[in-house]
Amino acid sequence: MRRFQLYDSLSRSTRLFVPITPPRVGLFVCGLTPYADAHIGHARTAVTFDVVARALRRWGYRVFYVQNVTNLDDHMIERGGQEGTEPLLLAERKFAAYRASMARLGVSSVDLYPFATDYVPEILAQTKALVEKGFAYPSDGSVYYEVAKFANYGKLSGQRREEQRPGTRVETEPGKRAPEDFVIWKAAHPGEPSWESPWGPGRPGWHIEDTAITLRLMGDRYDLHGGGLELKFPHHEGEIALAEATTGSAPLVNYWMHAGLLTLKGEKMAKSLGNVVGLEETLDRFGPDTLRFFYLNAHYRSPLDFEEGKSLEEAREAYGRLSLPLERIREELRTGGAAREGSELPEELSAEAEALPGRLDDALAIDFNTREAIALLFGWVSRLGELAPRWEELSGGALDALESPYRWAKQVLGLFADPEGGSDVDLSPLVEVALAARKRARARGDFAEADRIREELRAAGVLVEDEGERSRWRLAPAGDA
Ligand SMILES: [Zn+2]
């Protein structure tokens, strides 16, 4: 296992990462409240922790990555009412759409997406325990957590108790003893989804869902908790208070990671503010690689401002420069270069190619500096430019060496996947079979058949170009087939 450091928001310092039970790592990231379509702010957090999980796995850790789904809350009930849909069904639908978007975006690292309402027995048991221990009190069919009872409240966010005012998700309710107390079990209004409880029919509050899930799946303590910066307070502060009061064990989490906000003209992107850029439409316009590149070309903790008509256009242009040599390498490999006994790389360059994946790992091993990694990749592109290789003369081994930094980026950053519609499945043998049939058709003068094969390939997303006797092919860019 490679050693690495990360910035821990709880201690406010960069620390060496030491798992509780190596090589296992428990990673929990706050997921979606799927009452509306996902936007590119959600996707930034998802890509951030996707890269964390990918890097850890590359480095030999066995990561168990859980991302919860808050499938019932006030927004869900309100939106369901407006649309005439059961709130839980609305959540199912929006979550299915989210999963499809994540698959498009190459977010493939999450092991489990538990739904909050599947943990109601755990939530009720934890609520009862907190009432018995004196950390929570029932009131009008709801149960509240009494913040004043937890001495360490505020240790994550650094807010003193008297400064704490309810977050956006916590309504001011008459049954509370203090404004900062928060609901952990909420009395249901008639017609809302509800479960029986000792305090009457109700449903879970927000923060307790996460702790019920992690206490069940990861135990009293686990390694790494991630989420967007906006969740630090009150949500994550609430999780600490709930879990540590329940178990008497601290800390709940050894390392806290917070991803910076994605802003639009300097303002937080949020459904509640109405200034969102939809994820699906962005993927339609720019494709997954450009969007991932846009996120990863900034440090994950930095705020990232999105400018319509500028940010992704620039990202696409820069990413295009980064991928240009790879396209050449892949083309040579596809058209017989892999087995070629051509010229080798100059020794110096060959040594650089061999060392680069390690240097890329080094960049990520200091608080996941993807920006630095991308800078190293651009350095590689410049070196290739200086070399100005005669691609068609390079040996298979030389091509393979030139590709290796890109393979690192594909594995860890999730960039340079085959164009959309493709997959990790290697299509080359199948396309070569079709091209061989086309070549035979051309050889016997049956150009109608040759054109038909080309059209069928095009419909399947494969573009064929003839250069004299030789046919080259590539996958069509998104939306081009
Ligand atoms: Zn959460």
Q: How far is the CA of 452 from the centre of ligand 1 (A)?
A: 53
- CA dihedral of residues 186, 190, 193, 198 (deg, nearest 10): 50
> Which CATH number is 173's domain given?
3.40.50.620
Comparing 459 with 414, the larger pLDDT belongs to 414
Q: In the 8-state DSSP scheme, what is residue 21?
A: B
Cβ–Cβ < 8 Å for 371, 298? yes
Task: Tell how far the Cα of 167 is from the centroid of ligand 1, in angstroms.
Answer: 14
**Do 106 and 16 share a structural domain?**
yes
Residue 368 lies in a domain: yes
Mean pLDDT highest for which of 216-225, 269-278, 417-426?
216-225
Which single residue is written with the structure tokens 């003209």? 265
331 falls within a domain: yes
Cα(149) to centroid(ligand 1), Å: 22
3-state secondary structure of 259: strand
Number of domains in the chain: 3
Q: What is the mean pLDDT of residues 354-365?
A: 98
**268 occurs within a structural domain:** no
Q: How far is the CA of 70 from the centre of ligand 1 (A)?
A: 8
Q: How crowded is residue 314: how many other Cβ atoms within 10 Å of its Cβ?
A: 14
pLDDT value at 426 more than 80: no
User: What's the pLDDT score for residue 272?
Assistant: 74
pLDDT at 172: 59
The CA 271 to ligand 1 mean position distance, Å, reads 17
CA of 137 to the centre of ligand 1 (A): 22
Query: Is the domain of 396 the same as that of 440?
Result: no
Beta strand 202-204 pairing with 182-187: antiparallel
The model's confidence at residue 459, banded by pLDDT at 50, 70 and 90, is confident
Which amino acid is residue 109, in one-letter code?
S
Distance 292 CA to ligand 1 centre (A): 23
* SS3 at position 261: coil
- pLDDT above 80 (res 476): no
Q: Separation of 32 CA from ligand 1 center, angstroms?
A: 9
Cα angle 452, 453, 454 (rounded to 5 degrees) comes to 90
Compute the average pLDDT of residues 14-36.
95
For residue 479, name the pLDDT band (cuts at 50, 70, 90): very low
pLDDT (tens digit per residue) in 62-90: 999 999 999 998 888 999 999 999 999 99
Check pLDDT > 60 for residue 167. Answer: no
Rounded to the nearest whole angstrom, what is the distance from the C-alpha of residue 110 to the centroid of ligand 1?
Answer: 15
For 134-155, write each residue's pLDDT tens digit: 999 999 999 999 999 999 999 9
- Token couple for 60: 């030999």
Pull the structure tokens for residue 289: 């690689």
Percent of the chain with pLDDT over 90: 73
The band of 468, judged by pLDDT with boundaries at 50, 70 and 90, is: confident
User: Residue 461's pLDDT is what?
Assistant: 80
Residues 406 and 469 in one domain: no
The rounded distance, in Å, linking the Cα atoms of 382 and 390 is 15
Percent of the chain at pLDDT > 70 equals 94
CA atoms within 13 A on the CB side of 281: 6
| Helix residue ranges, H only, 335-369 | 347-364
Contact 31, 98 (CB under 8 A): no
**CATH code for the domain in which residue 343 is found:** 1.20.120
Q: Are residues 170 and 89 in the same domain?
A: yes
Query: In the predicted model, is pLDDT for residue 110 greater than 90?
Result: yes
Q: What beta strand segments (E) does 194-284 contain?
A: 202-204, 222-228, 253-259, 262-264, 267-268
pLDDT of residue 423: 45
C-alpha 212 to ligand 1 mean position (Å): 11
- Position 431 scores a pLDDT of 83
C-alpha count within 13 angstroms, C-beta hemisphere, residue 35: 20
Domain of 336? 308-412
Same domain, 148 and 179: yes
Question: What is the 422 CA–ligand 1 centroid distance (Å)?
Answer: 34
* Residue-level pLDDT at 100: 92
What pLDDT is attached to residue 161?
A: 60
What's the rounded mean pLDDT across residues 93-104? Answer: 92
pLDDT at residue 65, rounded to an integer: 97
Residue-wise pLDDT for 29-49, tens only, equals: 999 888 889 999 999 999 999
In a domain, 212, yes or no: yes
Q: How far is CA 323 from the centre of its chain?
A: 22
Q: Ligand 1 mean position to 298 CA, how many Å?
A: 24
Q: How far apart are the first and last CA of the chain?
A: 43
Could you tell me if residue 450 is inside a domain?
Answer: yes
Q: Of 226, 259, 292, which residue is a domain's last?
A: 259
Domain shared by 220 and 322, yes or no: no
pLDDT tops 80 at residue 424? no
In a domain, 66, yes or no: yes
Same structural domain, 242 and 140: yes
Which helix H or strand E contains 136, and what residues bound it?
Answer: strand 136-139
Distance 78 CA to ligand 1 centre (A): 20
Q: Are residues 347 and 453 in the same domain?
A: no
363 assigned to some structural domain: yes
Q: Is residue 168 part of a domain?
A: yes
pLDDT digits (tens, 9 = 90+) for 298-332: 999 999 999 999 999 999 999 999 999 999 999 89
Asked if 382 and 445 sit in the same domain, the reply is no
pLDDT tier for residue 273 given thresholds of 50, 70 and 90: confident
419 — pLDDT class (breaks 50, 70, 90): low
Residue 391 shares a structural domain with residue 458: no
- 344 alpha carbon to ligand 1 midpoint, in Å? 52
Asked if residue 42 and residue 178 are part of one domain, the reply reads yes
Distance 210 CA to ligand 1 centre (A): 5
Please tell me whether residues 406 and 442 are part of one structural domain.
no
Please give the Cα distance from 99 to 104 (Å, whole number).
9
104 contact partners, CB below 8 Å, separation of at least 6: 283, 288, 420
Average pLDDT, the chain: 90
* Residue 173 Cα to ligand 1 middle (Å): 22
DSSP 385-413: HHH---GGGB-HHHHHHHHHHHHHHHHHT
> What b-and-e string marks burial along 403-435, b requiring 16 or more CB atoms within 10 Å of the CB?
bebbebbbebbbbbbebbbeeeeebeeebeebb
pLDDT at 217 over 60: yes
Q: What is the mean pLDDT of residues 415-422?
A: 63
